Amino acid sequence: MYFRFITSLMLLLFAASAKRVEDFFLYIFFSFRMLATRALSLVSKRVISTSICVRGGHGVAKVDDYALPSYFDRRENPLPDVRFVTDLSPVQKSLKEKEKGSWATLSNDEKIALYRISFKKSFAEMNKGSNEWKSVVAGMLFFIGVTGLVVLWQRKFVYGPVPPTFETEWKEKELQRMLDMRINPVEGISAKWDYENKEWKK
Amino acid sequence: MVRERRDLYSLPDAPLASRCYSHSKVETDEEFDARWVTYFSKPDIDAWELKKGMNTLIGYDLVPEPKIVDSALRACRRLNDLASAIRILEAVKDKSGPHKDIYPYLIQELKPTLTELGISTPEELGMDKL
């Protein structure tokens, strides 16, 4: 293990003494290649290919788990790209062997076990609804309520007094002034006031 | 009869382009069925092709004819994949949606194949319940 590491390190240092540019890059390439082959075997067990992908002499692209085909339960994709269970126990392996023979010899439990190896949830389980919506609506109402409390607090402690023009007495005088001015006398407010009897028209 | 409305515009395996022009040749139901039966009948079909075919078929706006499902189940048998066979039955049931009479018809037509290959329906295994 260390041999490879030391050799690649020496190659790297030797590259500094290369006479030609091509040789220099060649040494770099091979030193990394030696390191990379070691690194590749440390990467996840799900490495599909054993050949190394070298990019411009800079090393190997590590195969990330999320980039590999994954399993997912969806109605519109009934047969996912991979099986759900990838590492089979000895029992499951023997069951898989039995599957190669006649399926009529399999018991119901064995058939269910085979299904569960390949798939996580059945269609019934996949399509089952949940009660999550209740939590969502409850959360919504709660936060609307908190906002209401905040608004009430603001009215009491943050906002200053309202202008005097809102007082009842002021408003009465305002209305009287509007009627005296005959505001909207055709179809609006003055039209609804009975000037003879000094009251609203019935 | 088990066909709802066929989506003519997105057949990946279509040898002819189906467009909305009235003068071009539109694939008939029988041609569609025949094409898919042939696809699954390939003797050396591989697992990927089965998955791709099935996922594509489920993507269409229709419930496959019994003969297509039969062909697919036989492909599962050739691939020694019972789980996929059961999954296919679940998928076509799910595909029929609110039309509850389609799936029993399908099972009735497939009964000989199911007994021949030894495939249990999801109902027999209790997998349609939670």
Reported confidence tier of residue A47, pLDDT bands at 50, 70, 90:
very low
DSSP B23: T
Q: What is the pLDDT of residues A149-187, one digit of tens each?
A: 999 999 999 999 999 999 999 999 999 999 999 999 999
> Quick check: A53 pLDDT over 90?
no
CB-based contact B80 A75, cutoff 8 Å:
no
Q: Which of residues 74-93 of B touch A (CB under 8 A)?
A: 77, 80-84, 86-88, 90-91, 93
CA B118 to each of CA A19, A43, B80, B86, B128: distance values in angstroms, whole numbers, following the listed order: 72, 41, 12, 11, 18
HEC string of A48-65 equals: CCCCCCECCCCCECCCCH
CB contact under 8 A, B51 and A99: no
Mean pLDDT of B111-125: 96
Q: Which of B40, B49, B56, B94 to mutate to test the interface with A (most CBs of A within 10 A)?
A: B94
| Helices marked H in chain B | 29-41, 47-59, 66-78, 82-95, 102-117
> What tens digit of pLDDT does each residue of A109-155 get?
999 999 999 999 999 999 999 999 999 999 999 999 999 999 999 99
Q: Distance between CA A180 and CA A143 in Å, rounded? A: 49
CA distances for A100 relative to A15, B28, B78, B79, angstroms: 56, 37, 9, 8
Q: Read off the pTM.
A: 0.66
Question: Comparing C-alpha atoms, which of B92, B43, B115 is closest to residue A79?
Answer: B92
CA-based nearest residue to B82, from A196, A168, A118, A183: A118
DSSP H or E stretch at residue A124: helix A123-127
Q: Phi and psi (nearest 5°) for A60?
A: -105, 140
For B122, residues 6+ apart whose C-beta sits below 8 A from its C-beta are A122, A123, A124, B86, B89, B90, B93, B128
Name the more confident of B110 and A9: B110
Three-state SS at A37: helix
ipTM of the complex: 0.81
Pick from A75, A105, A115: which is nearest to B127 by CB?
A: A115
Residue A116 contacts residue A84 (beta carbons within 8 Å): yes
